[in-house]
Amino acid sequence: MVPDEWSIIEDSFHPEYNEITESLMSLGNGRMGQRGNFEETYTGKSLLGNYVAGVYFPDKTRVGWWKNGYPAYFAKVINACNWIGIQVEVEGQLLDLYTCRIEAFRRVLDMKRGVLERECTVEMPTGNRLTIRSQRFCNMVDDESGAIRYTIQPLNFNGQITITPYLDGNIRNRDANYDETFWNEIQKETSFAQGILVLETKPNPYGVEQFQVATGMRFDITVNGKRLDFHSHPIRNEKYVAGKVPLKLNERDELTVYKYATNLSSSNHSAGELIPLTKAYLERITKKGYDVLYHEHTQAWAEKWERNDIEIKGDLEAQQGIRFNIFHLQQTYTGEDETLNIGPKGFTGEKYGGVTYWDTEAYCIPFYLSASGQQVARNLLIYRYRQLGKAIENAEKLGFSGGAALYPMVTMNGEECHNEWEITFEEIHRNGAIAYAIYDYIRYTGDEAYLSEYGLEVLIAISRFWRQRINWSEHKKKYVMLGVTGPNEYENNVNNNWYTNYIAAWTLRYTLYAIEYVQKNGDATSIFSKINFDSESEPSAWQKIIDGLHFPYDEVRDVFLQQDGFLDKELLTVDQISEHRPINQKWSWDRILRSCFIKQADVLQGLYFFEDDFDLGTLQRNFDFYEPMTVHESSLSPCVHSILASRLGMKAKAYEMYLRTARLDLDDYNNDTEDGLHITSMAGTWMSVVKGFAGQRVQDGVLVLDPYLPASWESYSFRIGFRGVTLTISVDRDSIRLVNPSDQSVALKIKGTQEDFVGEKVLNLIDQEIVR
- Positions touching a second copy (CB under 8 A) are 61-65, 67-69, 397-399, 419-422, 425-426, 471-476, 480, 482-483, 492-495, 564-565, 567-571, 584-594
CA–CA gap between residue 574 and residue 373 (Å, rounded): 39
CA–CA gap between residue 676 and residue 674 (Å, rounded): 5
Secondary structure (H, E, C), 325-337: HHHHHHHHCCCCC
For the chain, the first-to-last Cα distance in angstroms comes to 32
- Residues facing residue 740 across a β-bridge: 759
Burial string for 393-426 (b: 16+ CB within 10 Å, else e) reads ebbeebebebbbbbbbbbbbbbbbbbbbbbbbbb
Q: Is 445 helix (H, G, I), strand (E, B) or coil?
A: helix
Q: Which is nearer to a second copy, 99 or 493 (CB)?
A: 493
Residues in the chain: 772
Q: Which is nearer to a second copy, 588 or 753 (CB)?
A: 588
Q: Which is nearer to a second copy, 276 or 399 (CB)?
A: 399
Read off the amino acid at residue 572. L
CA 493 centroid distance within chain: 28
Q: Which is nearer to a second copy, 424 or 600 (CB)?
A: 424
Nearest approach, Cβ of 667 to a second copy (angstroms)?
24
Nearest approach, Cβ of 551 to a second copy (angstroms)?
14
Angle at alpha carbon of residue 181, lines to 415 and 412, rounded to 5°? 20
Long-range own/partner contacts, residues 529-536 (CB < 8 A, 24 or more apart): 530/457, 531/403, 531/457, 531/460, 531/461, 532/402, 532/403, 533/403, 533/460
Nearest approach, Cβ of 614 to a second copy (angstroms)?
23
CA–CA gap between residue 738 and residue 765 (Å, rounded): 13
Q: How many CB atoms lie within 10 A of CB 618?
A: 15
Nearest approach, Cβ of 660 to a second copy (angstroms)?
22
Q: Which is nearer to a second copy, 258 or 566 (CB)?
A: 566
Residue 489 annotated to the active site: yes
Q: Which is nearer to a second copy, 272 or 582 (CB)?
A: 582
User: Which run of H or of E encompasses 291?
Assistant: helix 274-308
Nearest approach, Cβ of 638 to a second copy (angstroms)?
22
Nearest approach, Cβ of 468 to a second copy (angstroms)?
10
Count of alpha carbons within 13 angstroms of residue 517, beta-carbon side: 19
CA–CA gap between residue 358 and residue 431 (Å, rounded): 8
- Is 612 annotated in a binding site? The answer is no
Find the radius of gyration of the CA atoms of the chain.
27
- Is 605 annotated in a binding site? The answer is no
CA–CA gap between residue 116 and residue 39 (Å, rounded): 11
Q: Which is nearer to a second copy, 486 or 692 (CB)?
A: 486
For residues 771 and 652, the answer to whether their CB atoms sit within 8 Å is yes
Nearest approach, Cβ of 672 to a second copy (angstroms)?
14
CA–CA gap between residue 425 and residue 423 (Å, rounded): 6
DSSP state of 45: S
Nearest approach, Cβ of 80 to a second copy (angstroms)?
25
Phi and psi at residue 323, to the nearest 5°: -65, -35
For residues 387 and 341, the answer to whether their CB atoms sit within 8 Å is no
Q: Which is nearer to a second copy, 68 or 526 (CB)?
A: 68
Q: Omega of the bond prior to 582 within 30 degrees of 0, cis?
A: yes
CA–CA gap between residue 221 and residue 230 (Å, rounded): 8
Laid out side by side, the sheet with 702-705 consists of 697-699, 702-705, 746-750, 753-757
- Is 315 annotated in a binding site? The answer is no
For residues 124 and 114, the answer to whether their CB atoms sit within 8 Å is no
CA 717 centroid distance within chain: 23
For residues 318 and 312, the answer to whether their CB atoms sit within 8 Å is yes
Per the residue annotation, which of 144, 489, 538, 627 is the catalytic one?
Answer: 489
Nearest approach, Cβ of 508 to a second copy (angstroms)?
19
Nearest approach, Cβ of 510 to a second copy (angstroms)?
25
For residues 696 and 679, the answer to whether their CB atoms sit within 8 Å is no
Q: Which is nearer to a second copy, 68 or 764 (CB)?
A: 68
Nearest approach, Cβ of 474 to a second copy (angstroms)?
7
- Is 301 annotated in a binding site? The answer is no
Q: Which is nearer to a second copy, 247 or 593 (CB)?
A: 593
Q: Which is nearer to a second copy, 494 or 545 (CB)?
A: 494
Q: Which of 480, 683, 653, 504 is nearest to 565 (CA)?
A: 480
For residues 167 and 82, the answer to whether their CB atoms sit within 8 Å is yes
Q: How many CB atoms lie within 10 A of CB 610?
A: 14
What is the set of active-site residues?
Answer: 489
Q: Indicate the annotated binding residues for substrate.
A: 358-359, 599-600
Q: Indicate the annotated binding residues.
A: 358-359, 599-600
